[in-house]
Amino acid sequence: MLALIQTLVLAIDIYWWILIASAIFSWLYAFNVVNPRNQVVGTIGNMLFRLTEPVLRPIRNILPDLGGIDISPIILLLILFFIRQFLIQTIAPMVI
């Protein structure tokens, strides 16, 4: 059971970094720092979008319109942090 918890924590950590990479990429894309016509850039952007959008979309639907500011990645990072800490602090000690 402890191995399962550690695997879940690792998956959360990996997704955490994917989410941060997606947010940074979206800023780079929005400010024309990266060339959107480059095939590698397009592939990376598409991959990050496909990995994060299914989780971010329901959060965006719940949040009110804040103009051009999208805080859904921050909300998701807080949720992932809570789940990670819950697994480490509450569930793991009960298993050991």
**What are the pLDDT tens digits along the chain (96 aa)?**
999 999 999 999 999 999 999 999 999 999 999 998 999 999 999 999 999 999 999 999 999 988 888 999 999 999 999 999 999 999 999 987
Q: Which letter does DSSP use for residue 65 in this model? A: P
DSSP state of 36: T
Domain extent, residue 6, equals 2-95
Count of structural domains within the chain: 1
């950590």: which residue's tokens? 13
pTM for this entry: 0.90
Q: 48 near 25, Cβ under 8 Å?
A: yes
